[in-house]
Structure formats: structure tokens, C-alpha cells
Amino acid sequence: MKLANKLIIVAFACFGNFPVEAAETWKIASLEWPPFSGEKLLYGGSAIKALRDTLKEHDIELVVEYYPWTRAIAQASSPSMIGFYPAWPEDVGKGFSVSGTLFKSPLIIAQNRKAPFSIKSLSDLKGKVVGTVQDYGNTKEFNDMVAKGIIIGDNGPDDLIGVKKLGASRIDAMIIDRNVLNYILKFQYVVPGEPIFDSGGWIAQKDLLVAVNNAHPKKNEIIALLNKISKAAKTQKMVDAANKIIFQ
């Protein structure tokens, strides 16, 4: 056997069983927002899986740190962090920049069957107490109506607590992502009679993206790659496929 071939075999024997390290590592902050993200969720959540698998194609390893939402935003401002994800455009404040859209999901109004009312537009929520999660962006129209006192916002730390309040008739309605509501009702808040339902009269299709940390030294390169991934339009299908498995 030639020496060159022997060297190849020896090299394979020494290193063949070890995974090849990614050329780069991205660290992001995320939250417990199933089915899209969560430390104990399969894949770490459907949105996390889609981003991780896509970045792997570019030889980038994704490291995720999970926090309560408000803290996730604060942690994401560290220079070592890429940013926070998944985020709505309205979530992206000072110190961060939006990436291209990675997937979309509908924002809806949930109600309690014990006291249903017609909702065709946000104006139908006038005078109603509507559950929200602290520091969620929701929509500008909704936020403006809350700020003006037209809608009475009831802030809570997370979606699950809001749904429980709605089930206990402590609030009139809740603004929530449809996939998140469906996950909660299937796995976290299973109540006889299924009192919580999607009103169906008002829907806002929301963009989900990465809020990129302006303090990161590679900010421009990060945004350029995420925009390239956005234009490829593959991540929506990846999120949808992972959601189907998570909901099984």
C-alpha cells in the first residue's frame, strides 16, 4: 500500500468518529413560546429547528439560551449575542435591527364560550378587558387602542397565564398567536367543555424574524445572511413540518 493511502486511513481512524466543528457559532436568546420555542420542547421548538437546520447549511452552529420574554430581550443586548428570536417586527426596539421574515403565523383573539361576543375588528373590543403578555409587540393598532384606553389591557408574564385568566372569566378576551393557543389548549390547559375558542373574526398575519443585536461586531454580515435565508423561503415549510410533529 502506498504511503499516501496509509496516511489517509490513519487520519480517518483518528478523526472519523468525531463530529466536525462548525466554522462559526451564533448565540441567541429565546423564550418559552411553544410550539415555536422552548427549552424542553422537541427540537427546542419548531422555529428554533428551522433556524438551526438552515444555519447548519452555512456551517454555523446555533446556541440558544431560553429566558422569560422580557429578560430574553435584555440578555440579547450583550455583545456576544446575535439577538433574540422569534420576534414580531413590533418587538424590535432600540438597539436591535430586523432580519428578513423567516416564517409567518396568525395572531387572533381568543374568547370564553361562557360570554362570547362578535369580533369583526379591533373596535369590537372597545371597553373589553383583553389579556396581553408584557412587552409583546402585538400590532400597532391594538397597542394604540390600549394606550388610549379604548381597550383595557391586562398584562401577564406569559400566554399560559393569560389563557388561564380567560378560562376563569377574569378577562373578556386575549390576543394570542393561534399556534400558541392551540398548543396550550392541547397540552397545558386541558379543561372539560373546551371553554376557550378562537373568535375567528379578526386575524393578523404576523412576520416572525430575528431581532439582530446592533452591538454585535458582525451585525451587518448576520443581517445579510438572514435576509438571504428569508428570500430562499424555505423556513416556513420547515416550521410547519416541525409543528405537525410537535402536535402529535
The pLDDT score that the predictor gives to residue 23 is 85
The pLDDT score that the predictor gives to residue 19 is 53
pTM, two decimals, is 0.90
| Mean per-residue pLDDT, 37-62 | 98
Domains in the chain: boundaries? 24-101+208-246, 105-205
The pLDDT score that the predictor gives to residue 21 is 65
Q: Over the stretch 116-167, which tens digit does the pLDDT of each residue have?
A: 999 999 999 999 999 999 999 999 999 999 999 999 999 999 999 999 999 9
Domains 24-101+208-246 and 105-205 share a fold: yes
**CATH architecture of the domain with range 105-205:** 3-Layer(aba) Sandwich (3.40)
CB atoms < 10 A from the CB of 114, how many? 9
Classify domain 24-101+208-246 at the CATH class level: alpha beta
